[in-house]
Amino acid sequence: MYVSVLLVALYCILMMGGCSPIHFRSGAAAIAIFCVILSYLASSGLAFYMGLKITGVHNLLPFLLIGIGVDDMFIIAYSIDQTEPTLPCNERIRVALTHSGTSITITSITNSVAFFLGAFTQLEALRSFCIFAGLGVLFLYAASLTIFTAFMVWDIKRQVKRKGDCKGACKCKENSILCCRGYFLTPKQKRYPFTDLKLDG
């Protein structure tokens, strides 16, 4: 299980941002994994409080939550990247959540309802797993829209100030060999930031 979590974390670090110190998002990837772990612990705690027990099938739950949670946070990050960079930070978040919030809400509700409906089965192990999973999806939804989105507000402000993801500790530049000479940057990322960017709205 630990290997799979590390692989997902590595994938998030490499794919959530861009190949430059400014657009790199290792911090956002770490927060995404943290939200998944927090949701897993919160849902498990609530389920245990309800008197439910775990079985062998519950070992699949972390993989399920990682897949759903990371997907939701990728959608939020992608929606933020698609907004107009010249907009104030608060406006970019509002526009991004207008587009991504709907899809995240629909998928989270349908997934949790499907799991909770599965809780009506006569199989005790499957019933417990469905309740654990349904609660986990709901906690993931809450974490995505609160913890992760709040961090992305900070991340946008960091990018506007042209501060690296590592706060300048690595001293690398966008055209360095470590950042592939900026080859993988999009045209929008290469022109970023613009002169009329605003931090607040």
pLDDT digit string, tens, across residues 66-119: 888 888 888 998 888 888 888 888 888 999 999 888 889 999 999 999 999 988
| Higher per-residue pLDDT: 147 or 199 | 147
> Residue 20: inside a domain, yes or no?
yes
Instruction: Give the pLDDT confidence score for residue 194 in this predicted structure.
Output: 47
**3 state DSSP class of 112:** helix
The C-alpha atoms of residue 163 and residue 39 are separated, in whole angstroms, by 30
The C-alpha atoms of residue 33 and residue 170 are separated, in whole angstroms, by 23
pLDDT digit string, tens, across residues 132-175: 999 999 999 999 999 999 998 988 888 777 776 665 545 555 55
Torsion sign over Cα 118, 122, 125, 128: positive
Torsion sign over Cα 46, 47, 48, 50: positive
Instruction: Give the pLDDT confidence score for residue 146 in this predicted structure.
Output: 92
> Residue 198: inside a domain, yes or no?
no
Question: Which domain covers residue 16, as residue numbers?
Answer: 2-161+173-191
> Residue 37: inside a domain, yes or no?
yes
> Residue 108: inside a domain, yes or no?
yes
Specify the pTM. 0.79
CATH code for the domain in which residue 16 is found: 1.20.1640.10
Total tally of structural domains belonging to the chain: 1
Residues 79, 99: contact at Cβ < 8 Å?
Answer: yes
Residues 39, 108: contact at Cβ < 8 Å?
Answer: no
> Residue 199: inside a domain, yes or no?
no
> Residue 57: inside a domain, yes or no?
yes
> Residue 183: inside a domain, yes or no?
yes
> Residue 168: inside a domain, yes or no?
no
